[in-house]
Amino acid sequence: MTYIISFIIVLGILIFVHEFGHFIIAKKSGVGVLKFSLGFGPRVIGKKIGETEYQISAIPLGGYVKIIGENPEEEVSEEERGKSFSEKSIRTRMAIIGFGPLMNLFLAFILFCLLALIGFKIPAFMEAPPRVGWIVPDSPAQSAGLREGDLIMRVNDRKVGNWEDLKFILASNPNARLRLIVEREGILVAKELVPEERGLFGVGYAGLQPELPPIINEIVKGDPADLGGLKKGDVILAIDGEEMRHWLQMAMTIWNNHDKNLRFKVKRGQEILFFSIRPKAFKAKEKTIGLIGISPLMDTIFKRYGTFRAIVWGGLETLKLTNRTITVLWRLLTGRISLRTLGGPISIFQMAGTAAKTGIRDFMFFMAGLSVTLAIINIFPIPLLDGGHLLFLGIEGVRRKPISMRSRELAYRVGLVIIVLLMLIVFYTDMERFDIIHYIFRKISTMIHLLLKQG
């Protein structure tokens, strides 16, 4: 139920805010608005105030506005002509159309400002210089010759200030050749790294890890670690005689040994202790891994700002997120990032529910990110989207006359084909990502088998 409610809230707010942008500028510009609906489908409740009917509709996934004269061929009475959208100046019409995406950016800005005011936690390493704490064996980073202790200074001549910058660069450049400048023992060294495509969304992966020592923070009661004698604060020094220098190294050792007893060497205070623990088997998709029920001790930073600094931080975060979204979409369009990066309704449903379960702050971060993405996609110059309408108005301004309806209709058909194809792609990637296609085929195969058996 949390997933359904959070999905409805996210899409409802984002689309409603977008449509409200069109609505408020239309009203301010003297354009008649016949209907403003919260939701789609049949009207549930509503009231007419002046010329505008305000209503709540049955399907709470956004909203829409109906504007007088939105269609150039729409018949408008003499009384309504002065309020017709098509009779207004190009500048006014562009403002009405463009304010939808702008409101989505404004929503992201407001959410970031609120987050700054109420405060939020981030892992401390995200703001730390990107010094390598550990390298995953057989990873692109190991193949590139990187070592523990290396400080990554630049990537493709771009200065890298912290782990957040580095993680974004790696994630947004799968299969790309990256030129790294690394400081190693006071000497600058050049390396070439090619992140591989990995994960549900096909992002770049290098195998670089920040420093995270294997210190236990929490233990799940009744799990193997608890039953085996481990305690909060224990430092895992070795497993089966192999030195453990990093939390992920330790976790991978446990994952890969679900079927055997492991001998843990632990430092507790000034004591060195030994424990024999057998991980419990856990089925992760088609692979079985071992778990013992522990979580790492990770330093975090709590950030909270006063009003002025919250506004500044909110603006900077919105600009940063907008720039990164444009970068990712451009690389997607130019084929430098896989289509697997695209997420559709199923991905939004999954991520909205996960963010809601982890807390209001994560939910606000997620909504801000999605709001920026919606704004950027909407200004793409594709007919039927706001960007397509802005393109038509730009052409009209240059030509000093509107585009013919025949040309508009042809463009709208092309735009519809593009949008339908994009929808099919994101639905397919979603279904493939969450193994829905195989699930459906398994169900169909089971049904056929039962029918044949009964026959």
Are 282 and 291 spatial neighbours (Cβ–Cβ below 8 Å)?
A: yes
Residues 246 and 316 in one domain: no
Percent of the chain with pLDDT over 90: 42
For residue 340, the model assigns a pLDDT of 64
Residues 133 and 262 in one domain: no
Are 338 and 174 spatial neighbours (Cβ–Cβ below 8 Å)?
A: yes
Cα dist. 97→135, 293, 384, 390 in Å? 49, 53, 11, 7
Q: In which residue are the tokens 């400080």 written?
A: 151
Boundaries of domain holding 185: 126-209
For residue 342, the model assigns a pLDDT of 65
Which of 19, 75, 148, 317 does the annotation list as catalytic? 19
Are 227 and 216 spatial neighbours (Cβ–Cβ below 8 Å)?
A: no
Are 130 and 160 spatial neighbours (Cβ–Cβ below 8 Å)?
A: yes
Pairing of strands 158-159, 151-155: antiparallel
For residue 392, the model assigns a pLDDT of 87
For residue 248, the model assigns a pLDDT of 94
50 in any annotated domain? no
233 vs 216: CA distance, rounded Å: 5
For residue 310, the model assigns a pLDDT of 94
CATH number of the domain residue 244 falls in: 2.30.42.10
Q: What is the pLDDT of residues 359-384, one digit of tens each?
A: 888 888 889 988 998 899 888 888 88
Are 345 and 353 spatial neighbours (Cβ–Cβ below 8 Å)?
A: no
For residue 285, the model assigns a pLDDT of 67
Residues 185 and 255 in one domain: no
For residue 440, the model assigns a pLDDT of 47
Domain edge (last residue) among 177, 193, 209: 209
Q: Six-digit token pair at 102?
A: 């702008």
Q: Identify which of 84, 79, 61 has the alpha carbon closest to the alpha carbon of residue 13.
A: 61
409 vs 302: CA distance, rounded Å: 53
185 is annotated as an active-site residue: no
Are 69 and 85 spatial neighbours (Cβ–Cβ below 8 Å)?
A: yes
Residues 349 and 417 in one domain: yes
Pairing of strands 120-123, 235-239: unpaired
For residue 6, the model assigns a pLDDT of 82
7 in any annotated domain? no
For residue 114, the model assigns a pLDDT of 95
Cα dist. 322→268, 325, 382, 385 in Å? 47, 5, 19, 19
Q: Give backbone dihedrals phi and psi of 316, rounded to 5 degrees, phi first.
A: -65, -40
Domain edge (last residue) among 182, 209, 236: 209
For residue 386, the model assigns a pLDDT of 87
Q: In which residue are the tokens 């995406």 written?
A: 101
Q: What is the pLDDT of residues 171-220, one digit of tens each?
A: 888 888 999 999 999 999 999 999 998 876 678 899 999 999 999 999 99
432 in any annotated domain? yes
Residues 336 and 446 in one domain: yes
Residue type, 244: M
Q: Identify which of 436, 382, 444, 364 has the alpha carbon closest to the alpha carbon of residue 119.
A: 364
DSSP 402: P
Annotate 200-266 with DSSP letters as a single string. Answer: TTTEEE--EE-----BEEEE-TTSHHHHHT--TT-EEEEETTEE--SHHHHHHHHHT-TTS-EEEEE
Q: Give backbone dihedrals phi and psi of 106, rounded to 5 degrees, phi first.
A: -65, -40
Domain edge (last residue) among 297, 318, 336: 297
85 in any annotated domain? no
Helix pair angle (436-454, 405-433), 10° resolution:
70
Residues near 42 by Cβ (< 8 Å), separated by ≥ 6? Answer: 57, 58
370 in any annotated domain? yes
What is Dmax (Cα atoms) for the chain? 91
Q: How does pLDDT run along the chain (455 residues), one tens digit per residue?
A: 677 788 788 888 888 899 899 999 988 988 888 888 887 778 888 888 888 888 888 876 667 888 887 776 666 666 666 778 888 888 998 999 999 999 999 999 999 999 999 998 888 989 999 999 999 999 999 999 999 999 999 999 889 989 999 999 998 888 889 999 999 999 999 999 999 988 766 788 999 999 999 999 999 999 999 999 999 999 999 999 999 999 999 999 999 998 889 999 999 999 999 999 999 988 876 788 999 999 999 888 899 999 999 999 999 999 999 988 888 888 777 777 766 666 666 677 677 777 778 788 888 888 998 899 889 988 888 888 888 889 888 888 888 888 777 888 888 888 888 888 877 777 777 666 555 544 444 544 555 545 555 54
Q: Identify which of 196, 183, 180, 172 has the alpha carbon closest to the alpha carbon of residue 129.
A: 183
262 in any annotated domain? yes
Residues 189 and 321 in one domain: no
Pairing of strands 262-268, 271-277: antiparallel
- 10 Å Cβ neighbour count for 266? 20
Residue type, 279: P
For residue 421, the model assigns a pLDDT of 83
State the virtual CA torsion across 324, 330, 334, 340 in degrees, nearest 10.
60
> Can you say how many angstroms the Cα of residue 184 is from the centroid of all Cα atoms in its chain?
34
